[in-house]
Amino acid sequence: MRNFVIRLIVNAIALAFTAYLLPGIVVTDPSIVPLLVIALIFGILNAILKPILVILTFPVTIVTLGLFLFVVNGLMLLLTGALSGGRLVVSGLGAAILGGIVMGLIGMLVEALFKSIGIIED
């Protein structure tokens, strides 16, 4: 349960910074509760739907040497925006792909920070 909450917080922080940095991604209410709701939707989609999409798109991923996974991540962000009830607005697939990349990088930085201060254990 603790890992789930930490992952939710990491995703919410990454989403907030991504929306701040990229003009194509907008969080309509940047307070903590809507960010956590969006992060929860994103986490559920990544846990359930993303593995299925990765398996289904495996041949395309092989042909593109793994670059198609960026498209899959972008689709997850677009779908999160569609399911968030207007809390997250993603302007298109290009913004979603770039947003997925930025979210991943910021998420890695936040996790490294959490590990360095002892919130996450190795």
Query: How many Cα atoms sit within 13 Å of 66 on the Cβ side?
Result: 0
How far apart, in Å, are the Cα atoms of 103 and each of 60, 61, 96, 100, 114? 23, 21, 10, 5, 16
The pLDDT tens digits for 20-36 are 999 999 999 989 999 99
pTM comes to: 0.91
45: left (phi over 0), alpha (psi -120 to 50) or beta: alpha
The pLDDT tens digits for 43-101 are 999 999 999 999 999 999 999 999 999 999 999 999 999 999 999 999 999 999 999 99
